Amino acid sequence: MSVFADSDLNNIEPYVPGEQLNDKKYIKLNTNENPFYASERAVERINKGLLSGLNRYSDPESRGLNSAIAAYYGVEPENVLATNGSDEALAFAFMAYCKGGVCFPDVTYGFYEVLSGLFKCKAQIIPLGGDFTVNPKDYFNSKKTVALANPNAQTGIALPVTEIEEIIKNNPENVVIIDQAYADFGEGNAIPLIKKYKNLLVINTFSKSRSLAGARIGYAIGDCALIEDLKKIKNSFHPYNVNSVSAALAVAAIEDEEYFLNSVKSVVTGRKRLTEGLIKSGFEVLPSSANFVLAKSCRIGGEELYKRLKDKGILVRHFSAERICDYIRITVGSDYETDRLLETINQIMETV
């Protein structure tokens, strides 16, 4: 830290992203990206006309993108705010609703704790059940903002939308944030509930299911009063938060529904292949509705396995948090990548 920094900076624990290494070629299964490229039709949209317009600012209202997202989900553009990745939507929501307190599970997306620290929100950490599931009743009448990823991050386990609705219903005085980064790989989608509940804010991203992690596009969907709150923050922080190239890519990705459905289907099939392969090799695998699985073997520790895989050119994610330190988190890759991973794991298991 420099001598000039505010003393507050000392207390901030930043997020630690998964490794993005380029010292050699890795099979990269550590940050839940999509193994398939973005829709070619979407990429072809980035034409000279668009690029030569880069001397102008992007639309601060992101009208085209907000309307496309709204139409896709059957809501109004006033119910949508496009953001620079969903991490930005989460940051706006924490700024707007969490200073008075926020609760989230002990095992979940690490950013919730980071944002709580950054914005000085009082965080109540609620342990997941022994089987790593969220118990909805733990969140009833919480008197603070609820932040849940569904499917949950790190575990991949999803709550049915009916149970999410119970949590929303039983928190009439505070906002419930549902982070749906992985929802396209499962069945549940809480977005239709925004018409019924004024306290529901759904946050979603183009990074995982739409193969656009590098374009940084996310969004919040909720009652227009909630979206007004977030816009107020956005316009006080970064009015041109979504760049025009990424917005055009995102609109075109929405238009290529066939490609989206096919690539989601391939990931879901790949998840089954990965899960079955791991079980065959003696692993315990949590039931995932996402594009990754959390798995452990009683024969080798999570960190050791992570390191051995890395030595052999395969990146997976290991978390040192106590409840999940025996596990590794593996992103669903292409069939080729999954086969190499399983092969390599089997080689490693022969030596332990």
Ligand X SMILES: *Cc1c(COP(=O)(O)O)cnc(C)c1O
Place of tokens 């998840």: 271
Angle at which helices 224-237 and 86-97 pack, to 10 degrees? 100
Decide: is 106 part of the binding site for ligand X (CB under 6 A): no
Min separation Cβ 282 and ligand X, Å? 28
Distance of closest approach, residue 290 Cβ to ligand X, in angstroms = 8
**What's the min distance (Å) between Cβ of 112 and ligand X?**
9
Q: Considering beta carbons, is residue 148 or 274 the nearer one to ligand X? A: 148
* For residue 151, cis peptide bond before it (omega within 30 degrees of 0): yes
Task: Let me know the angle formed at the C-alpha of 87 by 114 and 1, rounded to the nearest 5 degrees.
Answer: 45
105 binding ligand X? (CB under 6 A) = no
230 near ligand X (CB under 6 A): no
Residue 46 or 213 with smaller CB distance to ligand X: 213
In one letter, which amino acid is 225? A
Short-list 148, 143, 210, CA closest to 180: 148
149 binds ligand X (CB under 6 A): yes
Distance from C-alpha of 294 to C-alpha of 283, rounded to nearest angstrom? 10
Minimum Å distance from CB 84 to ligand X?
8
| Sheet order of strands, 80-84 included | 80-84, 217-222, 200-205, 176-179, 145-149, 102-105, 123-126
Told to check if 85 binds ligand X by CB under 6 A, we report: yes
- Residues 75/80/84/85 CA torsion (nearest 10 deg): -50
Closest to ligand X by CB, 271 vs 308, is 271
Stretch that binds ligand X, among 16-24, 83-91, 191-199, 252-260 (CB under 6 A): 83-91
Among the listed residues 116, 142, 207, 331, the single contact to ligand X using CB under 6 A: 207
Q: Which residues contribute to the site for ligand X (CB under 6 A)?
A: 32, 85-87, 109, 149, 153, 179, 181, 205, 207, 213, 218
